[in-house]
Amino acid sequence: MNMDVRNSFVDCAGIASDVGSLGALERLPTYADYFYNLYEKHTPENAQEMVMHVLGESDPDAVNEFNKVVREFNTDLDRIKKEDDRNALIRFYNQLDRIVLGPDHLEIPELTK
């Protein structure tokens, strides 16, 4: 997987550990959408071609798993915000980071209550 996609969810870890509101959280983009938005911003004339290149270089099983977790996160986002469920946010972050980094992933521990 292209590690740049970590930029789409890395803020989740900081937000989860901060005492501030989870209200700033937004829906996460799928793997392809993240790269399309990135390339559309910088090289709109080549955005689709660049996304296809990234997808071609990426493990399709990892991309599917990443997208599955992103969809689960987006479905649960309103509840996470409403209940201030920082541990759910940490779990989603850890899942996504594990998919992208594999065995090099460093688990963030859940917060104690």
Domain count of the fold of the chain:
1
SS3 content of the chain, % helix, strand, coil (to 5): 75, 0, 25
pLDDT averaged over every residue in the chain: 91
Residue 31 burial (CB < 10 Å; 0-12/13-18/19+)?
Answer: buried
CA 100 to chain centre: 9
CA 3 to chain centre: 11
Q: Is the pLDDT of residue 54 over 70?
A: yes
Instruction: Note down the domain range covering 77.
Output: 3-102
Q: How confident is the model at residue 73 (pLDDT cuts 50, 70, 90)?
A: very high
CB 111 within 8 A of CB 91: no
Asked if residue 112 is part of any domain, the answer here is no
Q: What is the pLDDT of residue 19?
A: 61
pLDDT tens for each residue of 4-41: 999 999 888 777 777 667 888 899 999 999 999 999 99
Asked if residue 31 is part of any domain, the answer here is yes
Q: What is the pLDDT of residue 104?
A: 82
